[in-house]
Amino acid sequence: MARSAGWIAGIAAMLAATTALGEPLVVALLTDRTGPAAASGTRIANGARDYLTMLDRRDGGVAGRPLTILECEVGADEAKAAACHGQAVAAGAVVVLATERATTRALAAVAGRARVPMLSLADGFAVATRGDVMPWLFNPSDATLGGITVAVRAIADLTGREADLTGLSIGLVHDAETADPASLDVMRDLAARLGFTPRFYALSGEAGGLRDLGPQRPDYLVLLGRGPKADTAVEDALAAGMPPDRLVALHWPDDTVLHRLGTGARGFREVSRHAFGDHFPAFDEIDVHVIDRGLSRTPKDGSGEPLYNRGVYGAVLLAEAIRGHGRTQGGLTGDGIRRGFETLSIDGIRWKELGLAGFARAVSFDCRDHGGRPALSLQTWDGAKWAPSVAPIAQERALVDARLDTLVIAFRAAHPDWPARTEPCADRS
């Protein structure tokens, strides 16, 4: 209780401090710097907070309003997340950012009741990309289903084969406890159409479980994992004799394991919505206005890491949705910013204006699509750093949409009391 009281007192102090600059816009970050998701949560939180702080220091905020950034540590604990969310809403937050899958699931219904949009940077909760089911939840980081289609397409490109992968075996490494079954179904769909043999490797416990691949190891491995298991899976796959250029990952691993492996991981590839590295003018602005002024928790050389950049990516979308409120009738309220998300569109010109040319591909949301389906980049480890991405690869929308429709049907059957969407769709005109 004392900790919550201190957080609320901090809110009051920050609101008072910004009153002289104009009524502040309250943005809440539910972060995971501790707990089982700390390795990823800390980096994502640093990226999101640094970018928003940069906008506040350099531009005086967003849409003419200073930002009050409320960060509440939840440590992937659902009860803490619910408490933090309630405190944020009470403090007037107009948007909430979450970084972890379990937290996103736990707060999905709460966000709707509070009528405050929530932006999730978690992966593996595909239903949260469907605005017809969850109008107050946006999940742009979940490219799992589409990412698998991109990974397999990348393998086809690497082998020089387009629509026929007969004779190849492709393994999918996934977490036994948390992987969405739809991911496995997408792999089976692709195998049936392209002719390759799918193999599935479920990771459980702390061990990677891939060192016993033996002579039956697949031709390629797609690594669908997160956290320490994903790092271990890379090392175990290499120890089992998989060449690094036969490994394609989604979401993980981060830089730490790859720097440790060095040239032993040369050729390893990772599918991402955004570029890695800090060679963008906006990152220079973060250095000048935030990191160099001691306003960041990012360690030296920590910016530009894949997960830090995921935080930046999410913060860009959040800020652009706030700016987009002018296209809607909702204003700078929770409902107005929800509409701002549903009319969000960032093309290459806008990325350049933001000092992020080449950082990410064009992305847009609408009333039904709360995840966006941008073409994805394939980052390659050159033995010391990530090499610039090559041509983007489009997600297979038809296949993903079909799987999402099946997921939605199952979700509604499992949650018969889930409220139907009543919010009108935003007008882009």
Give the pairing type, strands 247-250 and 269-272: parallel
Reported in sequence order, the residue ranges of 367-416 that DSSP labels E, i.e. its strands, are: 377-381, 386-387
Compute the distance between CA of residue 104 and CA of residue 340 in angstroms, rounded to an integer: 20
106: confidence class by pLDDT, cuts 50, 70, 90: very high
Q: Coil, helix or strand for 139?
A: coil
**330 pLDDT exceeds 70?**
no
**188 pLDDT exceeds 80?**
yes
90: confidence class by pLDDT, cuts 50, 70, 90: very high
Question: Which of 143, 200, 145 lies closest to 171, judged by CA?
Answer: 200
Which run of H or of E encompasses 116?
Answer: none
Predicted local distance difference test score (pLDDT) of residue 17:
44
Work out the percent of the chain whose per-residue pLDDT is above 90.
72
Angle subtended by helix axes 397-414 and 144-159, to nearest 10: 150
Compute the distance between CA of residue 210 and CA of residue 216 in angstroms, rounded to an integer: 12
- DSSP secondary structure string, 382-394? -SSSEEPP-S-B-
Q: What is the pLDDT of residues 191-224, one digit of tens each?
A: 999 999 999 988 876 555 676 676 778 999 999 8
Predicted local distance difference test score (pLDDT) of residue 429:
58
22: confidence class by pLDDT, cuts 50, 70, 90: low
Predicted local distance difference test score (pLDDT) of residue 331:
78
Give the pairing type, strands 377-381 and 269-272: antiparallel
Are the CB atoms for 320 and 52 separated by under 8 Å?
no
**4 pLDDT exceeds 70?**
no
Residue 54 tokens read as: 């940069």
**16 pLDDT exceeds 70?**
no
Residue 299 CA: distances (Å) to CA of 291, 306, 307, 311, 392: 9, 14, 13, 15, 31
Predicted local distance difference test score (pLDDT) of residue 14:
46
328: confidence class by pLDDT, cuts 50, 70, 90: low
Compute the distance between CA of residue 408 and CA of residue 176 in angstroms, rounded to an integer: 22
User: Could you report how far apart the first and last alpha carbons of the chain are, in Å?
Assistant: 47
Compute the distance between CA of residue 237 and CA of residue 80 in angstroms, rounded to an integer: 36
Q: Coil, helix or strand for 326?
A: helix
Compute the distance between CA of residue 420 and CA of residue 409 in angstroms, rounded to an integer: 13
Identify the CATH class of 144-272+376-395.
alpha beta
CATH architecture of 2-142+277-364: 3-Layer(aba) Sandwich (3.40)
Q: What is the DSSP letter of 251?
A: S
Predicted local distance difference test score (pLDDT) of residue 189:
96
Question: Which of 73, 98, 243, 101 lies closest to 180, judged by CA?
Answer: 101
The mean per-residue pLDDT over the stretch 415-423 comes to 95
Compute the distance between CA of residue 327 and CA of residue 331 in angstroms, rounded to an integer: 9
**302 pLDDT exceeds 90?**
no
Residues of the chain with CATH 3.40.50.2300: 2-142+277-364, 144-272+376-395
Compute the distance between CA of residue 26 and CA of residue 48 in angstroms, rounded to an integer: 14
Question: Which of 236, 195, 190, 192 lies closest to 217, judged by CA?
Answer: 236
Residue found under tokens 């970018």: 51
The mean per-residue pLDDT over the stretch 57-65 comes to 96
Phi, psi angle pair for 62, to nearest 5°: -135, 140
Q: Judging by beta carbons within 10 Å of its beta carbon (0-12, 13-18, 19+), is residue 139 exposed, middle or buried?
A: buried
What's at 162, amino acid-wise?
E
- What strand order describes the sheet that includes 95-98? 67-73, 25-31, 95-98, 118-120, 137-138
Residue found under tokens 């090499």: 387
**123 pLDDT exceeds 70?**
yes
Calculate Rg over the CA atoms of the chain: 21
